[in-house]
Structure 1
Amino acid sequence: MSTSFQVTFDAADPLALGEFWCAALGYVRDAPPQGFASWEEALTAWEVPRELWNSKNAVSDPDGSGPRIFIQQVPEPKTVKNRVHLDLNVSAGRTGGERLEVLRAEAARLEAIGARTVEERSELGDTWIVMQDPEGNEFCLQ
């Protein structure tokens, strides 16, 4: 049996966090419901108060192979380390200095769109970079 899943993030600003993950992963924002040209049109038609328009967001892999990311607004800020995090495999098939160069280049690209590098780690011959998205959620580059 195969079970599909999505990854859910709590956030202060779901739209902005969704933009970051779209840029980081090559994802796109979920399309508005059929019959609506935009989310704004749909939310207006459904009479959703404007202050709730940024309460939820979802982004997906345009190829359909990666999991959907759902982002929900919460009132409290992130205060502790994530117990679950994403690992972004950006250096598949590379080793040594070439692998490290790819990891560092991707870290720089993600920093330019709002991420923060926490540390570079090596263990048992493997190296990865621990990062945080704009809201402080940890993820790793491998």
Structure 2
Amino acid sequence: MAYDLHLVFDCADVDLVSRFWLVALEGYTYPGCPPDDPARPPTGFATWEEWADAQGIPEDQRYLARTIVDSTGKRPDIFFNAVPEPKTVKNRVHLDIAVSRTVPAEESEARKEAEAERLIAAGATLVSRTHLLVLRDPEGNEFCIT
């Protein structure tokens, strides 16, 4: 039997973390939103509040979870769930963003550095540089750029 794979982040601020990963993972969008502007409210709604009202989501539950989906449907959905406790230890599982796999070796380091700069501008922090770059998202979740 085949199963779908979903990735789940526990976080304090689902809006902040999901918006960061929308930037980090090009081609992802919120469900019902256009891929060219993934943070825009779903088609037919002027604001996210208007959309939430139409869905009957109570105000006190609007920031408990978010989902982002791959616009091509080929990569797993990623869920962001609000939890009360802070992150306290290193991730046991993390994401790798592979940006240098399809480029010649002499271009690999420049490609990884450019991606790190883009994600640092979006709110990531650099942890270390070796053969790969280790960063943290806005809530401290580690990920690598390879």
Fold shared, TM-score > 0.5 on shorter chain: yes
Find 1:117's aligned residue among 89, 111, 126.
126
**TM-score, scaled relative to structure 1:** 0.85
AA of the residue aligned to 1:64: G
The answer to whether 1:8 aligns with 2:8 is yes
Counting aligned pairs with the same residue, the percent is 41
Map Cα deviations across residues 87-122 of structure 1 (whole Å, 9 max, x no partner): 11011133544211111110000000001110012x
CA distance in 2 between counterparts of 1:59 and 1:40 reads 18
The 3-state SS of whatever aligns with 1:93 is: coil
Give the SS at the match of 2:4: coil
How big is the alpha-carbon RMSD for the aligned residues of Structure 1 and Structure 2? 2.2
Q: 1:93 to 1:40 in 2, by over 3 A?
A: same
For residues 26-63 of structure 1, the C-alpha deviation after alignment (integer angstroms, 9 at most, x for no partner) is 1111228x9x7465345324543313211100001111
The answer to whether residue 132 in structure 2 is matched with residue 140 in structure 1 is no
Give distance in 1, aligned partners of 2:85 and 2:143. 20
Partner in structure 2 of residue 128 of structure 1: 132
Runs of at least 5 residues in structure 1 that lack an aligned partner in the other structure: 122-126
Q: Which amino acid aligns with 1:3?
A: Y
Normalised by the length of structure 2, the TM-score is: 0.83
Structure 1 residues 94 and 39: alpha-carbon distance in aligned structure 2, compared to 1, 3 A threshold: same
- Quick check: which one's strand share is greater? 1
- Find 2:95's aligned residue among 68, 86, 98: 86
Q: CA–CA distance in 2 between the matches of 1:116 and 1:19?
A: 16
* Secondary structure of residue in 2 paired with 1:44: helix
Count, aligned residues: 136
Q: Give the ranges of 4+ consecutive aligned residues of structure 1 lying more than 2 Å apart after TM superposition.
A: 36-49, 93-97
| 1:25 corresponds to 2:29 | no
